[in-house]
Structure 1
Amino acid sequence: MADVVSFRKEEPNGLLLREVNGPVLRLTLNNPLANVLSIALMEALLAEFEAVATSKDIKVIVIAAAGKLFSAGHDLKEMTQHRADDDRGRAFFERTIRLAADLMVKITRLPQAVIAEIDGLATAAGCQLVASCDLAICTDSSTFCTPGVNIGLFCSTPMVALSRAAHRKQAMEMLLTGETIDASTAKDFGLVNRIVPQQYLRQVVDKYAAVIASKSPQALKIGKEAFYRQAELPLADAYDYAVGVMVENMLARDAEEGIGAFLGKRMPEWKED
């Protein structure tokens, strides 16, 4: 794989910090104290995703957070202020919740792998963000919950991502009780991939990102799209779809190169589209 020059860019006064290291884009939620997903922060995330979607240089995206909380979800204060609107806030609620849904869908549609790096509490739409990412790695002190039911607001949109990441009955347990689960339970539920000590979190995430970034970008793009599409289909239809995808993948340039390299006992040389 060709060497990529690493550089770093930060926006210390913004809601979202941006850092690029070679093929890895790190986006850090910086909306203290709770890193709530305000309209402004969600729009900033979507703008980054739109900008990077066609990038040939970025192979992996990491979503992290500054401070002691990963994200407390929607900005309830921001939403409550609009109850005084003529429509009792309906238009603003629709805008906020639709924007969050669009953000989560965009994560699954990106050609890049997206890794959530969690150190602290991820609650409600913050937990939805974790569940929407392709991989999730957390510290042993991280916690997760969907507590809407505790305040009369069932976490219906977080439910969509949660029910696709965690096992169904465990997802319902979180949604119905609103109780907070620890990192070990989150891993048992299927919400996170790995639990690591806090001091090694960045190191482990960087290693995952580097390993993924070293793979064929063509194969990763094809595979990620296929993973989410087949998951929405009945079994027989999923196989029919996957057969077509794999045949086309076999005919792709990188598969020809990768198989040839494997048989020739050499390292493959991936080419950009």
Structure 2
Amino acid sequence: MTELKGVEEPAILIEQVGPVRRLIMNRPERRNALSESMMVSLSDALEAAGRDEATKIIVLAAKGSVFCAGHDLKELTSRRSDPDGGKHFFAHIFRMCASLMQTIINLPKIVIAEIQGTATAAGCQLVASCDLAICVNEASFCTPGVNIGLFCSAPMVAITRAIPQKQAMEMLVTGEVIDAHTAKAYGLVNRVVPQDYLRIVVDKYAIEIAGKSQEALKFGKEVFYRQADMTLADAYDLASHVMAENMLAADAEEGIDAFLSKRKADWPSLKE
């Protein structure tokens, strides 16, 4: 095959293996920074995966030694020469990032972060926004904005919803790096595994979850995030309503009948 010179590889590589779609950030030379183009590509890839009926689980991975270095500071700095000093572009970029994180939350499918290296600032936000996160022993995490005069306010939103407030505040005000096992102790990641086993473990989780009722997962993910900031009474009202709706779904009917009949469920949602 003739290699086309001057043609840049896609920002996101897509691998489909059965029901698992792996989205791989492919800008290792730029530390997979969340530039404007990277965020557009990643948002488009996530939304396409969400619409694809064959895809049941989404894995977010990256090439290189860095999972994601956060915003592209060179791109941001280059806009200081704009007539408004970059104000419009800065607001646009941070709104785009917020939208990207909410896309992950709002997808009806589980998103697993597969972290092979460092995740900083908005990269740490990306990890915190995924439903599950599995990393290698060598991975590290930080929100170092305070060290350059830019408090990680947007990453704070996701991080404070993933880990306890005292730990989140420590990360935000010190900018210090935490290792993989500290991240697990905080609750930022679910599992820490050897480098050689990362994909094996992620695929094991992905395949296991892909075999569950997709209707139940869709109901569950939505209510999980919606109830988080509600009062206890409102959360129970919402959960009770959703469970009643869930009971009417074909998967619930099949699953309960299978349980009572002591047989394996044959999920209707997996046939779609």
**What do residues 140-168 of structure 1 show as CA deviations (whole Å, max 9, x unaligned)?**
11000000000000000000000000111
Partner of 2:25: 29
- In the TM superposition, residue 15 of structure 1 has moved relative to its aligned partner by 1.1
Do structure 1's residue 14 and structure 2's residue 40 form an aligned pair? Answer: no
Counterpart amino acid of residue 131 in structure 2: D
| Separation of aligned partners in 2, 1:77 and 1:12 | 19
1:72-221 paired onto structure 2 within 5 Å: 72-221=69-218
1:236 to 233, 244, 254: 233
Partner of 1:3: none
SS of the aligned residue for 1:53 comes to helix
Partner of 2:60: 63
Partner of 2:248: 251
Counterpart amino acid of residue 28 in structure 2: P
| Separation of aligned partners in 2, 1:232 and 1:51 | 28
CA 1:111–1:143: 2 relative to 1, 3 Å: same
User: Which stretches in structure 2 are left out of the alignment for 5+ residues?
Assistant: 1-6
| Separation of aligned partners in 2, 1:32 and 1:49 | 20
TM-score of the aligned structures, taking structure 2 as reference length: 0.95
TM-score of the aligned structures, taking structure 1 as reference length: 0.94
* Residues 19 and 210, structure 2, Cα contact 8 Å, conserved in 1: yes
2:266 to 263, 266, 269: 269
| Separation of aligned partners in 2, 1:163 and 1:12 | 37
**What do residues 109-135 of structure 1 show as CA deviations (whole Å, max 9, x unaligned)?**
001100000011100000000000000
SS of the aligned residue for 2:268 comes to coil
How many residue pairs were aligned? Answer: 263
- In the TM superposition, residue 56 of structure 1 has moved relative to its aligned partner by 1.8
| Separation of aligned partners in 2, 1:207 and 1:97 | 34
**What do residues 93-124 of structure 1 show as CA deviations (whole Å, max 9, x unaligned)?**
11111111000001000011000000111000
| Separation of aligned partners in 2, 1:12 and 1:138 | 28
SS of the aligned residue for 2:181 comes to helix
| Separation of aligned partners in 1, 2:266 and 2:47 | 28
Do structure 1's residue 46 and structure 2's residue 36 form an aligned pair? Answer: no
| Separation of aligned partners in 2, 1:53 and 1:194 | 25
**What do residues 181-233 of structure 1 show as CA deviations (whole Å, max 9, x unaligned)?**
00011011110000000000000000000000000111111100010001121
User: Which stretches in structure 1 are left out of the alignment for 5+ residues?
Assistant: 1-10
| Separation of aligned partners in 2, 1:118 and 1:151 | 25
**What do residues 52-91 of structure 1 show as CA deviations (whole Å, max 9, x unaligned)?**
2232211100001100000110000001000000010011
SS of the aligned residue for 1:211 comes to helix
| Separation of aligned partners in 2, 1:195 and 1:223 | 25
